Amino acid sequence: MTKPATLIFDLDGTLIDSAPDIHAASNAVLAEHGFAPLTLPQVRSFIGQGVPHLVHCLLAASEADPRGALHEKMVADFTARYETAVGLTALYPGARAALEALRAKGHALGLCTNKPLAPTMAVLAHFGLTDLFGTVIGGDSLPVRKPDPQPLLKALWALGDGRALYIGDSEVDAQTAQAAGLPFLLFTEGYRKTPVADLPHSIAFSDYAMLEGIVAHLPWVSEE
C-alpha cells in the first residue's frame, strides 16, 4: 500500500503567483510616501523573506534609508493593503488538482510561508483551498521567519509523525529545508534567482501534473 507522507508547501511563487498584487501594493505605498514606482521584476526579486525585508528592499531601491523611521510606517501601510490583495493573484496551473489528488491519497498537507498569516488566509479562502491544509504557518506566526527552520519544524510538528518533505520555489525555501533536515522539492517556475543546478534539492519539477507521480515514487511512499 502507498504510505502517507507529510507534504509542506511554500505559498508565493510555489502555489500562487502573487507578484502582481505585491507589486501593486508596493507601488501604492511608495506613491503615498512620495517615491517613484518600481517595475514588476524589481519587486518580484524582493519576495520571499517577509514583509519587513520587502519594505527594506523597496526603500533601498528608492534610494531612501531602509533602516530609518519610515521603514516601520511603510511596513504597517503595506500590510494594511496586502491583507486583502488577491485580485491579481493566480494559482499556478495544476496546483489545485495536485493538492486535491494528494489529499485524496491520504497525504497530510501543510503550508509554511513568510507571507503574514492574515493575507495568507485571505488568499487561501479566495481560492477555496483552506480546508486542504492541516496547518498553516505564516511569516508572523513565530518570532522568526524562514530560512530559520523553526516555522517549518512547527508545521511538521502540527501535522504529526511521519516522513515529510518541503516543496518550494526559492533560495530561502532550499535553505529552510536544509536547516530543518527535510528533503526539498523545487518548483522551478517561481521566484528563484539562482540556477536550478545551484540550489540544493532532491527533485525539481516544472509542472504540477508531475507532482503526484513524484510523491508516489519516493522510496518511503511507494507501494510495497
For the chain, what's the residue count?
224
For residues 120 and 185, state if they share a domain.
yes
CATH number, residue 192? 3.40.50.1000
221 belongs to a structural domain: no
Q: Is 77 one of the annotated active-site residues of the chain? A: no
Domain boundary among 82, 112, 127: 82
What are 145-202's pLDDT values in tens digits? Answer: 999 999 999 999 999 867 899 999 999 999 999 999 999 999 999 999 999 999 999 9
- CA distance linking residue 84 with residue 64, whole number of Å: 27
Q: What is the dihedral of CA 140, 12, 169, 62, to 10 degrees?
A: -80
Asked if residue 221 has pLDDT above 80, the reply is no
For residues 77 and 139, state if they share a domain.
no
Asked if residue 224 has pLDDT above 50, the reply is no
152 belongs to a structural domain: yes
Q: How confident is the model at residue 214 (pLDDT cuts 50, 70, 90)?
A: very high
For residues 105 and 147, state if they share a domain.
yes
Which pLDDT belongs to residue 222? 61
For residues 123 and 12, state if they share a domain.
yes
- CA distance linking residue 100 with residue 123, whole number of Å: 17
State the pTM of this model: 0.92
CATH number, residue 61? 1.10.150.240
What are 11-26's pLDDT values in tens digits? Answer: 999 999 999 999 999 9
224 belongs to a structural domain: no
Q: What is the rounded average pLDDT for all residues in the chain?
A: 94
Asked if residue 219 has pLDDT above 60, the reply is yes
Q: How many domains does the chain have?
A: 2
1 belongs to a structural domain: no
What are 40-67's pLDDT values in tens digits? Answer: 999 999 998 999 999 999 999 999 999 8
For residues 202 and 117, state if they share a domain.
yes
Of the residues 10, 12, 17, 173, only one is catalytic, namely: 10
**6, 16, 21: which is closest to 91 by C-alpha?**
16
Joined together, the cell numbers standing for residue 188 give: 522551478
Full domain range(s) for residue 58: 19-82
112 belongs to a structural domain: yes
For residues 60 and 127, state if they share a domain.
no
Q: How confident is the model at residue 74 (pLDDT cuts 50, 70, 90)?
A: very high
Q: Tell me, what DSSP letter sits at residue 90?
A: E
Domain boundary among 82, 106, 128: 82
- CA distance linking residue 63 with residue 45, whole number of Å: 17
Domain boundary among 45, 63, 82: 82
- Angle made by CA atoms 34, 54, 25, in degrees to the nearest 5: 55
**104, 59, 77: which is closest to 212 by C-alpha?**
104
